[in-house]
Amino acid sequence: MSVRTSMGDTLQRTLTIAHTVAFPTTERERERRRIAIMCLPFLVLAVFAGFVPLATMARMSLSAERLSNEGWSLEAWETLTTDSTYWWIGFNTLWFAAAATLVSVAVGVAIAHALEKYSLPFENAIVAAVSFPIALPGIVVAFMVIVLLGRQGLITQAIAVFSGEGAISLATATTIGGLFLGYVYSLIPRATMVLRGTYAEVNTDAEEAARSLGASPLETFVRVTLPEIRPGIVAACILTYRSALAIFGTVLILQGGLVVVTLRIDRELSIGFNSQMAGAIGLVYVAFLIAFTFVGLRFVRTDAVEI
């Protein structure tokens, strides 16, 4: 009886809120309606670009048939939880994306610091060059790595000429090193753009005070600048790590002997069309991304340095 009463109260409150939003009588209710109207496009986008695909993916993972969502089976989930291959793929994905993220954010901090703290020549050209990879699809990035580090790559051929070794043995485009370079090349501009916005809010008075008290540039950066840009570093890590986990085109072309989640999903669908496994992997993948984002956002807060 209490459960029915609780459900009835919840339904009644929902209907009351819907009525006040549709027919507001006070300024507060009109404000709620404006907020609801502004959120409506995002709600529609979330439904058709998020909830519907996720629901379809969940149904795929529980289907007994591969070519159609018919019947019910837990075979895909049992395989995913018991087969060590998938655990190893998940481990590969996490450590490789984490390594690429750390390098990209470190380089992004250096670039953002140089752009914001120094008057560099051709600064606009530098910014354009740094941000250029954002516009490139992953497949294009992969082919750029091949052009540089493949068997006929420019760098490979140059090293072969000076070292006397064969170009085949020197080619690294399709190794883990080449794949790592493709990841970092795609992620550096994302980290840099986030950090440039953070640097714009740094308390320069505190930095100048530290320098006037005898602190070296390195000490000033570590003790004053770094605490202030920490939220930006965390935000850059969240963005780049999520982007690294979602890279598909680059790993599809280069592979590098490293099987990650995105490549595995492609193989599940292309070899035998195992849509159940692809759906199960995709759901775990999305759930991890959402959980990681919410946990990471807890650490995004400003540690302002006051003087």
Asked whether the predicted pLDDT for residue 274 surpasses 70, the reply is yes
**Residue 98 included in any domain:** yes
Tokens 């209490």 belong to residue: 2
Tokens 């400003």 belong to residue: 302
**Residue 307 included in any domain:** no
Using the 3D structure, point to which of 38, 61, 84 is the last residue of a domain.
61
The amino acid at residue 299 is F
Residue 54 sits in the same domain as residue 89:
no
Of the chain, the percentage scoring pLDDT greater than 70 comes to 93
**Residue 287 included in any domain:** yes
pLDDT for 171 equals 84
28-43 b/e (C-beta count within 10 Å ≥ 16 → b): eeeeeeeeeeeeeeee
Whether 92 and 169 have beta carbons less than 8 Å apart is answered as no
Mean pLDDT of 256-262: 82
* Alpha-carbon gap, residue 82 to 92, rounded angstroms: 17
Residue 260 sits in the same domain as residue 157:
yes
pLDDT digits (tens, 9 = 90+) for 182-193: 999 999 999 999
Whether 55 and 48 have beta carbons less than 8 Å apart is answered as no
* Alpha-carbon gap, residue 190 to 134, rounded angstroms: 7
pLDDT for 106 equals 94
Residues 6 or more apart whose CB falls under 8 angstroms from that of 296 comprise 234, 237, 238, 241
What sign has the CA pseudo-torsion 137, 140, 145, 151?
A: positive
pLDDT digits (tens, 9 = 90+) for 57-85: 889 888 888 777 788 888 889 988 898 98
Domains of the chain: total: 2
- The parent domain of residue 13 ranges over 1-61
Asked whether the predicted pLDDT for residue 302 surpasses 60, the reply is no
Residue 237 sits in the same domain as residue 125:
yes
- Tell me, letter by letter, the H, E, C secondary structure of 36-76: HHHHHHHHHHHHHHHHHHHHHHHHHHCCCCCCCCCCCCCHH
**Residue 217 included in any domain:** yes
Tokens 């002997």 belong to residue: 257
pLDDT digits (tens, 9 = 90+) for 105-149: 999 999 998 888 888 888 888 888 888 888 888 888 888 888 888
CATH of the domain at 176: 1.10.3720.10
pLDDT for 65 equals 80
- Look at residues 270, 231, 227, 221 and name the one whose alpha carbon lies nearest to residue 248: 270
Mean pLDDT of 243-260: 84
Residue 111 sits in the same domain as residue 47:
no
What sign has the CA pseudo-torsion 191, 192, 198, 202?
A: positive
Axis-axis angle for helices 261-270, 84-117 (nearest 10)? 130
Residue 279 sits in the same domain as residue 161:
yes
| Structure tokens, 147 | 């052009």
| Residue 119 to residues 58, 110, 116, 196, 224, Cα–Cα distance (Å) | 53, 14, 8, 14, 21
Whether 114 and 266 have beta carbons less than 8 Å apart is answered as no
**Residue 305 included in any domain:** no
**Residue 122 included in any domain:** yes
Residue 260 sits in the same domain as residue 156:
yes
Residue 24 sits in the same domain as residue 129:
no
Residue 185 sits in the same domain as residue 161:
yes
Residue 54 sits in the same domain as residue 112:
no
**Residue 282 included in any domain:** yes
Residues 6 or more apart whose CB falls under 8 angstroms from that of 293 comprise 238, 242
**Residue 200 included in any domain:** yes
Residue 122 sits in the same domain as residue 18:
no
Residue 153 sits in the same domain as residue 260:
yes
Write phi, then psi, for 23 (nearest 5 degrees). Answer: -130, 75
pLDDT digits (tens, 9 = 90+) for 3-45: 556 666 677 777 776 667 677 777 777 787 788 788 888 888 8
